[in-house]
Structure 1
Amino acid sequence: MEKGEERGGQEKSGLVLLKSLFCGGMAGMASKSFVAPLDRVKILLQTQNSAYKNKGVVSALGLVLRREGLVGLYRGNGVQMLRVFPYGAIQFGTFEILKRFFIQNPTNPPGSEKSSNLIRQIDKDRASVFLAGSIGGVCGVTATFPLDTIRARLAYHTKSEAGYSGMRDTFTTILKQDGVKGFYRGLIPTVVAICPQSGFSFFFFDVVKNGLIERFPLFRSRTGTDRYDLSIPGKLLAGGSSGAMAQTLTYPLDVTRRKMQLGQGKGVWQVLVHTYTTDGVVKGLYRGMSVNYLRGVPLSAISFCTYECLKQLLGISASVKL
């Protein structure tokens, strides 16, 4: 390869990365803003705030509205927006880089040559998607975890509680009570949960996306002579279903990390066991799961749909050849 061509390829890769970062950040902001009210209620139910301990989703929403008004449903969302743009950018950007790297640099086990080229290619690509999605999720959540902790405290506590009236006060309170480590309380269960959750989200999206394009013409959108992408309804369906499947598998760890962020236990296993022995599976480990479906499905649907649409708009989307 000529030096000029190599430089051009590097510039193109850099441009693709910048576009992916932008698309990921915007996708995160769009999806999180849409489900912000349900996010607030989810945290209140997960952590069993005394005022909401025996409430359901609808009654909790109504109580927040009566006590704090419409603004209360978006309490902590300002911090959320500061967090989700870099989180989405890092998650999707890292995913795109690693997916291309893993697919272009496969490691095939001995004897794999005996498998058909098609099966080997599908297995390789799907494994690459899962691994890249997992690492992308871990990178994103680790980089933005302190902001998520602040947002969780703001969402859990009411305006009348000292030290939690705003982002600055919450930051100061956490720093005084627990020091720097207080911002990372619950990071371990978060990483343990986000690794498979993010990986499965990208994995299931890839599976559903290709399945819809290949088998359901209704969800296809032609992008070339023999190339297709998902239509907007198809993107929403693939994103929503992939998010639902991934979150169901990892929800108990999500409950654990929220409790640890709020200082309700110091170890992953300790919190899991205490939650199970105290409240059981349905009312403990899967407490707030109904809210999670109500928020998780549209969140994932809007996130993937926005990301894919922006990629198409910016000319970096990969279509499927039939």
Structure 2
Amino acid sequence: MKDGQGPRFSETEFLVRSVLAGGFAGGLAKSAVAPLDRVKILLQTHNAEFIRFAGSWRGAVQALQYIVQTQGFRGLYQGHTLTLARAIPHAAVGYTVYDKVSHWLMPAPEYQTSVRRLTAGAITGLTALPFTYPFELIRVRMAVETSQSAIRPTPWTAIRGIMGEGRSSGGITGLMPFLHFYRGFTVSMLGTVPYRGGIFLVWETLNAQARARLSPATLRANQTRIHLVIGSIAGTTAQVATYPLEVIRRTQQASGKGTPNRMIGFQETVRSIWMAGGWRGFFTGLGVGLFKQVPTHAISLTSWQLAKKVLEI
């Protein structure tokens, strides 16, 4: 993964090619799983119209059918523009930062330890988060909007709503309403470290094992399949380990719909989830999440490697 940093390209050209590869991978993966992502958000936030679909794989399919019936096919991609606005730069910056940070932390094979792999992934996840997080909040607000209306939710109506919540809340958020675009940000940072760190830890570890155990000919003939499998395992492992934090974060992001005058805190969010569904409430939508994460990370990591190969980095 570090071979592309040789003298063939200037530093600027390498960065441009790396950004293009990462952005392509992030956009492709998110577009492929956008309908499942919306269902997952609706289940995580205990949406009144969708709570009956929680608890089974069949429920996820029924939820998708319900969205099409009530909101049309476009409803499956409600908020997807914001998803791409966040996912493309997040992946572009993240993958580029990972290449650089991993090269700095692990310049030679003997430096490739689990701690360094985890650290490189964690830094990658945290780098773009402050800049892309508002897009995620807007997209979540659009995704949880299910009321039947002649006006389809748009990014601008979501932005105006969030800004209005900030102005009406009083205190520091009343003076700086843009802070409402960071509902759940602290939890997101806490979750990003083990989530992104875990993904790259598993990804790098399993790829190293594949290189050690398989012949070069086998690797060349099956590289894409191997990457798809390893990407699936990496995403699944990280998703299960950090899912409760994701539920807390999504609930905080959606909370403005019910508590527009203030931002609910971590403890209050945990209590509300517990009251709604007990310990199972922290895993609501996990089945859909896993069903989504397997192709997401398989497609993202694999297409990243393919794009890097095409761009010769």
Could you state the TM-score of these two structures normalised by the residue count of structure 2?
0.85
Q: CA deviation at 1:162?
A: 9.3
In the alignment, is residue 96 of structure 1 matched against residue 94 of structure 2? no
Match 2:38 to one of 37, 40, 43: 40
| 2:3 corresponding residue in structure 1 | none
1:271 to 269, 272, 276: 269
Which residues in structure 2 correspond to 1:44-193 (within 5 Å)? 44-55=42-53, 56-104=59-107, 121-123=111-113, 126-158=114-146, 160=148, 165-178=153-166, 179-193=177-191
Residue equivalent to 1:18: 16
Instruction: Give the counterpart of 1:258 among 226, 239, 250.
Output: 250
Q: Secondary structure at the match of 2:10?
A: helix
1:230, CA displacement in angstroms?
A: 6.0
Greater fraction helix: 2
Q: Which amino acid aligns with 1:169?
A: T
Asked which structure has the greater RCO (Cα within 8 Å, sep 6+), the reply is: 2
Query: What is the letter of the counterpart of residue 94 of structure 1?
Result: V
Distance 2:243 2:178 in 1: 27
Distance 1:252 1:219 in 2: 42
Matches of 1:199 and 1:309, distance apart in 2: 22
- In the TM superposition, residue 141 of structure 1 has moved relative to its aligned partner by 2.2
2:288 and 2:102 mapped to 1: Cα distance?
A: 32
Contact 1:220 1:234 (C-alpha < 8 Å) held by counterparts: no
In the alignment, structure 2 segments of 5+ residues that lack a partner are 1-5, 54-58, 167-176
Report the alpha carbon displacement of residue 237 of structure 1 after superposing the two structures with TM: 0.5
Would you say how many aligned residue pairs link Structure 1 and Structure 2?
Answer: 287
C-alpha contact 2:106 2:112 (8 A) present in aligned 1: no
Once the two structures are TM-superposed, the CA of residue 195 in structure 1 deviates from its matched residue by: 1.4
User: How much does 1:103 deviate?
Assistant: 2.1
Contact 1:212 1:220 survives alignment (8 Å) = no
Contact 1:43 1:258 in 2 (8 A): yes
What is the DSSP-based 3-state SS (H/G/I as helix, E as strand, rest coil) of the residue aligned with 2:132? helix
**Distance in 2 separating the partners of 1:162 and 1:266:** 30
RMSD after superposition: 2.4
Q: What SS is found at the alignment partner of 1:158?
A: coil
Contact 1:134/1:196, CA 8 A, preserved across alignment:
yes
**Separation in 1, partners of 2:217, 2:228:** 10
- More displaced 10-residue stretch of structure 1: 260-269 or 57-66: 260-269
**1:201 maps onto 2:167 in alignment:** no
Tell me the SS of whatever aligns to 1:73: helix
Q: Which piece of structure 1 moves more, 69-78 or 138-147?
A: 138-147
Which residue of 2 is the match for residue 294 of structure 1? Answer: 291
Amino acid in structure 2 at the alignment position of 1:68: Q
User: How big is each residue's C-alpha offset from its partner over 1:59-115, in whole Å with a ceiling of 9 and x where there is no partner?
Assistant: 2111111101111111110111111111111111111111111224x9xxxxxxxxx
C-alpha distance in 1 between matches for 2:115 and 2:14: 22
CA displacement, residues 149-195 of structure 1 (integer Å, 9 cap, x when unaligned): 11000000026369972111111111111221111111111111111
Unaligned 5+ residue runs, structure 1? 1-7, 107-117, 223-228, 317-322
2:23–2:88 contact (8 Å) kept in structure 1: yes
The amino acid of 1:130's aligned partner reads L
Distance 2:302 2:215 in 1: 18
Percent sequence identity is 29
What does residue 308 of structure 1 align with?
A: 305
Question: Tell me, what secondary structure is at the counterpart of 1:269?
Answer: helix
Q: For residues 194-234 of structure 1, what are the alpha-carbon distances to aligned partners after superposition, in whole Å with 9 as ceiling and x for unaligned?
A: 11100110110011112223324599434xxxxxx961111
Other structure's SS at 1:262 match: helix
